[in-house]
């Protein structure tokens, strides 16, 4: 089932991208809060 494997790897790529984006966003918010404070 290559199709299922392709979908699984694609969704894992999307998940990795979303997680790294969320971490970067959190770091940016913390930096902004520290700057305002």
Section 30-37 average pLDDT = 94
- pTM here is 0.60
Taking the C-alpha atoms of residue 8 and residue 5, their distance in angstroms, rounded to an integer, is 5
In Å, what is the CA distance from 5 to each residue of 1, 11, 13, 16?
Answer: 7, 10, 12, 16
Chain-wide mean pLDDT for the chain?
A: 92
- 29 secondary structure, DSSP code: H
Which alpha helices (DSSP H) does the chain contain, by range?
A: 2-36
End-to-end CA separation in angstroms for the chain:
54
Q: How confident is the model at residue 12 (pLDDT cuts 50, 70, 90)?
A: very high
| Mean pLDDT confidence for 11-34 | 96
């Amino acid at each position: 089932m290559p199709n299922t494997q392709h979908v699984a790897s694609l969704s894992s790529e999307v998940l990795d991208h979303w997680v790294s984006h969320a971490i970067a966003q959190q770091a940016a918010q913390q930096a902004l809060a520290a700057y305002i404070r």
